[in-house]
Amino acid sequence: MRAAPLSPALREGGVQPLATQLEEESAGIVVEHVSKRFGGIFALRDVSFRVAQGSIFGMIGPNGSGKTTLLNTINGVYRATTGVIRVEGREVQNLSPSALLRLGVARTFQNPHVFLTLTVQENMMLPTIETGRLDVGFRDEILQTLHLDGLAKATASQLSGGEQKLLEFARAMITRPRVVLMDEPFGGVDAAIKTVMQDNIRRWSSEAGTTFMVVSHEIPDLVQLANRVVCLAEGSMIADGTPSEVTADEHVVSVYLGRRYERKD
Ligand code: ADP
Ligand code: MG
């Protein structure tokens, strides 16, 4: 990612303290007072948090709580109704998904968005249209670490659902992203693939300083993986802390228990 420009306050000779400026630039993602309204529905209400660069940040919350909307708003699919989003110090809330990809923000989806008639290798070439020349050696290295090398020439339609999620992960990583937004990467994925995915998330975070934001319903997986977790409910952030703090939080427990009882009725 290019060096972050000065914040508007400093550019205009403003008075933003240096410590605040440095803190913003050292954060992978900053979300400040972000709301997103669809007609009369507030899918996000005044959400604010900061994700340390190179950390693994988890997001939980019941269905419909705004998790996917938040990822879509960070990566430019939706424009925030209000609020500011910064990626490594740069304001991005008005950028498109392709501009964000060029800045180093990659994304995976709840239901894999892979091209079924293309091969694994061909799917991995697609983001390089935006980000530049394909590095074949790097592609093969990624395929190997994800145990997809044997399937490089298979079409995506021949892959299992879990393998398609790995392919999406591979396609995100080939862009050498600074930030990766992952929507339910472990949903419907078998234990072996889940382990491969988690090991690779940890490796990129610690070795390359890549920042991960991972949405998951699989709370035990996130407790193991994430440095920090937030919980959304009806578009508002109701908890923010270490995985053990958030999973023990009374409000979080009541939101999940409430849903569990609902399902039994
Ligand atoms: P989650 O990912 O936590 O299950 P979503 O972000 O998908 O939740 O949805 C949050 C709320 O926003 C839901 O009420 C959903 O219906 C609404 N929503 C999401 N996307 C749109 C859209 N494009 N148009 C209208 N409403 C939407
Ligand atoms: Mg969702």
Check pocket membership of 188 for ligand 1, CB cut-off 6 A.
no
Q: What is the pLDDT of residue 133?
A: 80
Q: 148, 162, 144, 152: which is closest to 119 by C-alpha?
A: 152
Ligand 1 atom 20, closest CA: 69
Region 9-20 average pLDDT: 48
pTM equals 0.88
CA gyration radius, the chain: 19
Region 243-259 average pLDDT: 81
Region 123-150 average pLDDT: 92
Check pocket membership of 41 for ligand 1, CB cut-off 6 A.
yes
Region 203-209 average pLDDT: 96
Ligand 1 atom 5, closest CA: 66
pLDDT score of 125 more than 50: yes
Give me the domains of the chain, ranges plus CATH numbers.
Answer: 27-264 (3.40.50.300)
Mutate to test the pocket of ligand 1, among 34, 35, 38, 231 (most ligand atoms within 8 A of CB): 38
92 conformational bin, left if phi > 0, alpha if psi -120 to 50, beta if neither? alpha
**Residue predicted with more confidence, 54 or 11:** 54
Question: Position 117: which residue type?
Answer: T
pLDDT score of 215 more than 80: yes
Check pocket membership of 65 for ligand 1, CB cut-off 6 A.
yes
Q: What is the pLDDT of residue 134?
A: 85
Average pLDDT in the chain:
88
Check pocket membership of 67 for ligand 1, CB cut-off 6 A.
yes
Check pocket membership of 63 for ligand 1, CB cut-off 6 A.
yes
In the chain, the percentage of residues whose pLDDT exceeds 90 is 75
**Closest ligand to residue 72's CA:** 1
Q: What is the pLDDT of residue 258?
A: 55
Taken in order 154, 155, 156, 157, is the CA torsion positive or negative? negative
Check pocket membership of 66 for ligand 1, CB cut-off 6 A.
yes
In the chain, the percentage of residues whose pLDDT exceeds 70 is 87
